[in-house]
A and B are shown apart, each in its own frame.
Chain A
Amino acid sequence: MSYWISILTEACIFSIMALGLNVIWGWAGDFDLALYGYVALGVYLTIVMTTGPALSPTQYILGWHLPYVLAVLLAVVIVLPIAAIVGAVALRNLREIYFAITTLGVISVLYVIVQIYTPLFNGFNGIAGLVTPMAGPLHISYSNYAYFLLALCAVVLLIVVVVLQRLSSSPYGRAIRSIRDNEQAAAAFGRSVFRSKLTAYVLGAGLAALGGTLFAAYLGAFNPSAWAPQEILTLYAAVLVGGRGNVRGVVAGTFIVYIGFIELTRYLPNVGGNAEFGPSVRQILIGGLIVVMLKFRPQGIFPDRHGVPRSARRTQGTSGATGGGWRDRLPLLAGRASGGRPEQDVIS
């Protein structure tokens, strides 16, 4: 049972990160490989702010012994301007593969610096010490803590999903997608491409960092091997599988990939005494999943369908709504079906 609690908690946490990636890659169309860097910063910062000052030979910055919730807020607040700088510089002139390579360079630089400059986050060995945050003030027993954490992550995920879903189907969602689809045309119609992409970038990074702060509570410790550049692709696979741009799709995709794949590979034998076999097979499957999805279903299981009312989705792709299509419900309409012509589809 506690195994499932763990898995679900992880899936919730990764979903939040994936939603951050969705804002940058799914909505704004920028393939950002630096995203996990913001996650890592979120984790590291949360841990160093909640634990006390470093005891030699361990080294790390801060060590303010703050309450967890405050640390979460501060961690996100610190990551936002960092992401703003990276985004401001990278999104000025770079797109597509050049943007991807640049962000790969950024996260690699961060990775190297964190590994080598030990005063920051204790280098290779990493840091630890975040044990059951909020358990004390809320009087949660050790045995119940796992349930509490799952509930916390699920609630945060729910809030994020609701907020993003509203944004997604709003005029903002429409505008940012237009920039993704064709930025020259978007500029020709008065939209500031740079500003919109940058805003999306910072928002996505903030969500990634938020996921990181929860990840810190879940793991309690963190070190570079947890976010080696080769490890981070699972998140991208999840977004790809779920449906790039589709908020609920991305959550579904994350659950499918994390839970599905972990389950799938849990029972693999240790072939040839190689302890690496299980995790390696998992990585191979992730890599293969990415290639296969890109080749055969790049839009994901749940494609992004902005602006299309539910009833019209079934006839998608055909030119012309069928008779049933007239009973459209505008996405903004809550619970009101209207018959007749579309002019009557307004909220009164």
Chain B
Amino acid sequence: MHQFLLYVGFGIVTAAVLSLSAVALTLEFAVSRVANLAHGELLTIGAYAAYEFLQWTNSVALAALGAALVGGIAGIAMNLGLIERFAGRPPIITLIATLGLSLMLQNILIIIFGAANLGYSINQGSPHHIGPFLLTDAEILVTLSALAVASALYLLLQRTKFGKALRAVSDNRELARVSGIPAQHVVTATWGIAGVIAGFAGFVLAETIGTFDPSLGFSYLLITLAAAVAGGLGRPYGTLVGALLVGLVLELAGAYSNSSYQLAFALGVLVLLLLFRPNGLLVSGRTVTRS
């Protein structure tokens, strides 16, 4: 039991990182109705930005901030440069376009930074016992920051005018626009927010794994999709739950079997979800309905 809880603890950390990436993807889907397969690159860009900031300033805080900032800019650029250019086209067309973009971005990063692994040298801190869990300073920080982001997002969505506008736009963009909401700006701003979260997530992810290369985000994309789909595409709170579930499943599966198969498990979960519960675990039905 003790062992099990330890893994649950690790699962929570995994879920924390995953929730950041997944909730950003969900925001993108919510306002643009698009499965952004170049989403992973927002994380990768964040990870590299953090690396540069660390080289430059040697401050973890600034690196994190830098990752978020650059991620946000990248998110806005992605939206204006690609997603909006395909507005009105069937979502599958935009999806294929994002695949093309993903390929481009990964290779641009290869040209700039090289294909080799890079790493941060950040002090992980010593492990602490928190209840039944055993976590390092770094892991605690990661979990706390995920919680902070989730809370900030909640406040944003529920308590601000912007949040209300976002929910309206994600429901029905035309209707929102006709009701006087500057839908275009809301969409762009949402992608900026998603980019900020994703960039930060990239930094955290790279920091957790230890090393990273230009394929960081793309490798993480499918796990992110699994979490997002588990919660129901387009539903931010569901995504957080989905991330928790997938994170736990990953850790436990990795613990009780060969841990290299973790990725295969995650992907298996994704495929199963899409087949039997494409609307997320919380909604029944095997055919996809709009969220």
* A-to-B contact residues, CB < 8 Å: 31, 89-90, 92-94, 96-98, 100-102, 104-106, 108-109, 112-113, 116, 229-230, 233, 236-237, 271, 274, 276-277, 280-281, 283-284, 286-291, 294-295, 298
Contacts and interface: CB of A to CB of B under 8 A. Distances in A.
A212 to B, nearest CB: 22
A105 B99 contact: no
A288 B82 CA distance: 11
B100 A288 contact: yes
A98 B234 CA distance: 14
Interface stretch (B15-23, B87-95, B160-168): B87-95
A109 B268 contact: yes
Contacts of B91: 96-97
A287 B41 CA distance: 14
30 contacts: A93-B278, A96-B90, A97-B91, A97-B95, A98-B278, A100-B35, A102-B270, A104-B37, A105-B222, A105-B225, A105-B274, A112-B267, A116-B264, A230-B106, A233-B100, A274-B111, A276-B115, A277-B111, A280-B110, A280-B111, A281-B107, A283-B103, A286-B100, A287-B99, A290-B99, A291-B97, A291-B101, A294-B89, A294-B100, A298-B93
A180 B107 CA distance: 34
B141 interface: no
Contact of B103 (A98, A113, A233, A295): A233
A116 B114 contact: no
Majority SS at the chain B contact face: helix
Given A230-B215, A291-B97, A101 B261 contact: no
A137 B111 CA distance: 47
B260 interface: yes
B111 A281 contact: yes
A310 to B, nearest CB: 29
Interface in B60-113: 82, 85-86, 89-93, 95-97, 99-104, 106-108, 110-111
B271 A106 contact: yes
A287 B275 contact: no
A117 B41 CA distance: 28
Contacts of A294: 86, 89, 93, 96-97, 100
B274 A287 contact: no
B285 to A, nearest CB: 10
Contacts of B108: 280, 284
Interface of B: 35, 37, 82, 85-86, 89-93, 95-97, 99-104, 106-108, 110-111, 114-115, 215, 218, 222, 225, 229, 258, 260-261, 263-264, 267-268, 270-271, 274-275, 278, 286-288
Contacts, number: 132
A133 B82 CA distance: 46
A116 B258 CA distance: 10
Nearest to A112: B264
A348 B271 CA distance: 53
B275 A93 contact: yes
Majority SS at the chain A contact face: helix
Given A233-B99, A283-B107, A288-B100, A274 B274 contact: no
Contacts of A102: 270-271, 274-275
B192 to A, nearest CB: 22
A289 B99 CA distance: 11
A286 B103 contact: yes
A97 B35 contact: yes
Contacts of B111: 271, 274, 276-277, 280-281, 284
Nearest to A229: B218
A341 B266 CA distance: 62
Contact of B97 (A94, A100, A295): A295
Contact of B82 (A89, A94, A100, A291): A291
B95 A100 contact: yes
A105 B97 contact: no
Contacts of A106: 271
Given A89-B275, A112-B263, A101 B225 contact: yes
B53 to A, nearest CB: 22
A118 to B, nearest CB: 11
A337 to B, nearest CB: 39
A94 B263 contact: no
A290 B100 contact: yes
A230 B37 CA distance: 12
Given A276-B115, A294-B93, A287 B222 contact: no
A94 B287 CA distance: 7
A287 B103 contact: yes
Contacts of A92: 275
A236 B96 contact: yes
B35 A101 contact: yes
Contacts of B261: 112-113, 116
A88 to B, nearest CB: 11
Contact of B222 (A98, A108, A274, A277): A108
B118 to A, nearest CB: 14
A276 B109 CA distance: 11
Given A94-B275, A101-B35, 8 more contacts: A93-B275, A100-B95, A101-B270, A113-B264, A281-B111, A284-B104, A287-B101, A288-B104
